[in-house]
Structure 1
Amino acid sequence: MSAHGDAAAPHGSTGTKAERTRELLADTALRMFRAHGYDATTMRGIAREAGVTTGNAYYHFAGKDAFVHELYRRVVIEHRVRTQSALIAGGSLADNLRRALTIGVEVMAPYHSFGSTLLGTALRMDSETSPFSAASRSPRTDAVALMREVVDASARVPGGRPGERLPELLWLAYMGVTLFWVLDSSPDTRRTALLIDGAAPLVGRMVSLARIPIGRSLAADAIDLMDRVRTAGALREGQE
């Protein structure tokens, strides 16, 4: 398919010429990833398919890994938009979380065939494509904000510090589901669907414990641990 084929049309038609070129390159790369896989797709091939020079492609994206980061950004945006319309105001946290997790997997579904490659890219120590990297701060903030919307839409969620930090903890749970999904080779990733259906009520029950003294203590311990890990990571980044 040439650069003038229907699938190579830019994701958005507004913005400056540079912005349109960047969108065109991203759309082309992600389409080629889906069609041919990550390893078989090259920067030269992306540039040729998009109808730009290879140098121009590298001007907008440093390499294929940069397209992975763009994919993460787009997935978060679509996930958030679709989930917002699916949440039930006053519903249970378990039901709203299940909806959010299910939609997240649905949004990622077209890229499952090269999910292990994406995982390998994201897990490299020097990778900016990792959801935990400094370069991913913006989409990570949006993803946590999505979980805040899940919490806000749900009834009987804890207040105070546990309630304040709950969205971040739910995002970490979503990262766990994503890892399971990447490695899930069952037909139509059915095992991931089973995991979500079972985990969402379990998380809901665990969160409800934060409304009683012993549960609040456990929640505080979990938050303290998360903060210690985060601080250690920030110190490491500052030393590099």
Structure 2
Amino acid sequence: MRPRSARGEQTRASIVTAALALFRERGYEGTTMRAVADAAGVSLGNAYYYVPSKEHLILAFYDRLQEEHAAAAVDVLARETGFAQRLAGVEEVFVDLAEPYHEFAGAFFRHAAEPTSPLSPFSPESGPARAASAAIYREVVTGSGIKAAPGVLAELPELLWLAHMGVVLFWVHDASPGRTRTRTLVRRAAPLVEKLVRATRLPGMHGIADDLVGLVRSLG
């Protein structure tokens, strides 16, 4: 539910900001809608009007994180021209942005892992955040000029988004200081991804590339 007025958007943003602060302080399970309303300085009824449930707060968090990721990725994409550097760069800025939320991420990730949950990254409710994230990887691809089998190139942004979901899962379970293990993963995996993408142009890889594209499209 998205309010149309500027004042409504400001109120909703205040509620989401208050909720995220409480999530960091008390965790997802320990945060109530009443506490969120009190922290945002609105009535409980008003809080429910703008954000119908705690799950909607997390969906709003998804949206906000993707907006921040897109904004932070601008500098990386303007600076880097190589595919691997662009891919690793946008993943690292995501890790930077997500770091303040790592402590409570595992709690709502349990809900997101439930296939029927609106918090699932594959749910209809998560569609706007998913589309915004895929758009970042589309910029990674188009700005790099990487060469690949035509079918693979067309589906590559979605494939990179799926790989990003794997990075997020790794990040959730990463207890290393500053998520250094996640950072190592993205830095070392990006060149491998580039090699695999470029390899799809080789004659012996055409069949495999076509099978991969067919699989992705059949699941769409």
Q: RCO greater where, 1 or 2, for CA within 8 Å and sep 6 or more?
A: 2
- Match in the other structure for 2:161: 171
Aligned residue type for 2:120: S
Q: Which residue is 2:204 aligned to?
A: 214
Per-residue Cα deviation, 1:46-101 (whole angstroms, up to 9, x for no partner): 01111111121112112111111111111111111111221257722111100011
TM-score by length of 2: 0.92
Q: Which moved more, 1:27-36 or 1:167-176?
A: 27-36
What one-letter code is carried by the residue in structure 1 that aligns with 2:153?
Answer: G
Kept in 1: contact 2:80–2:86 (CA 8 A): no
Superposition deviation, residue 191 in structure 1: 1.1
1:180 counterpart = 2:136 = no
Distance (whole Å) between structure 2 residues aligned to residue 99 and residue 216 of structure 1: 29
Does the 8 A contact of 2:149 with 2:206 survive in 1? Answer: no
Query: Contact conserved, 1:26 with 1:70, CA < 8 A, in 2?
Result: yes
Aligned pairs for 1:141-180 (under 5 A) are: 141-158=131-148, 160-180=150-170
* Counterpart in the other structure of 1:57: 47
Q: Deviations over 1:146-203 (max 9, x none)?
A: 1010001113332522111111101111110000000111222111111111111110
Contact between 1:93 and 1:157, CA under 8 Å: does it hold in 2? Answer: no
Match of 1:199 among 189, 206, 213: 189
RMSD (Å) for aligned C-alpha atoms? 1.8
* Residues 76 and 44 of structure 1, relative CA distance in 2, 3 Å threshold: same
Unaligned runs of 5+ in 2: none
| Residue in structure 2 matching 1:113, options 91, 103, 127 | 103
- In the TM superposition, structure 1's runs of 4+ consecutive aligned residues that sit over 6 Å from their partners are none
- Counterpart CA distance in 1 for 2:217 and 2:57 is 30
Quote the offset at 1:220 in angstroms: 1.9
**Residue 102 of structure 1 corresponds to which residue in structure 2?**
92
Alignment of 1:77 onto 2:67: yes
Shift of 1:216: 3.1
Identical-pair percentage: 37
User: AA paired with 1:116?
Assistant: G
Give the count of matched residue pairs. 217
